[in-house]
Amino acid sequence: MPEEKPAASFETGLQQLELIVKEMESGELPLERALELFEKGMQLSETCRKQLEEAETRIELLIRKGDKVQAEPFRPDKA
């Protein structure tokens, strides 16, 4: 079941990012706390971005053209 773990980590990362944004938007943070949150947010953002890229790669590999698997970019607007 290791495949389920990245999805949970992605969701958790997004939730943590939302909390960081809310706290930073309060505008009442000491500079040191704001820097700490910014750094953590950047790390979370990078982790989530990598997870999305991995998911996109998996989707590309699963798209079938005829009898062969052919990589195609994932386009959510293409229905």
pLDDT at 51 exceeding the cut of 50: yes
| Residue boundaries of the structural domains of the chain | 4-69
Q: Between 50 and 67, where is the model more confident? A: 50
CATH of domain 4-69: 1.10.287.1040
Of 2, 3, 49, 41, the C-alpha closest to 19 is 41
Name beta bridge partners: 65.
68
Mean pLDDT, range 37-59, rounded to an integer? 91
3-state secondary structure of 21: helix
Q: 55-70, pLDDT tens digit by residue?
A: 888 887 777 555 666 6
Q: Between 1 and 53, where is the model more confident? A: 53
Tokens of 32: 């040191």
C-beta of residue 47 within 8 angstroms of C-beta of residue 78: no
Of all residues in the chain, what percent carry a pLDDT higher than 90? 51
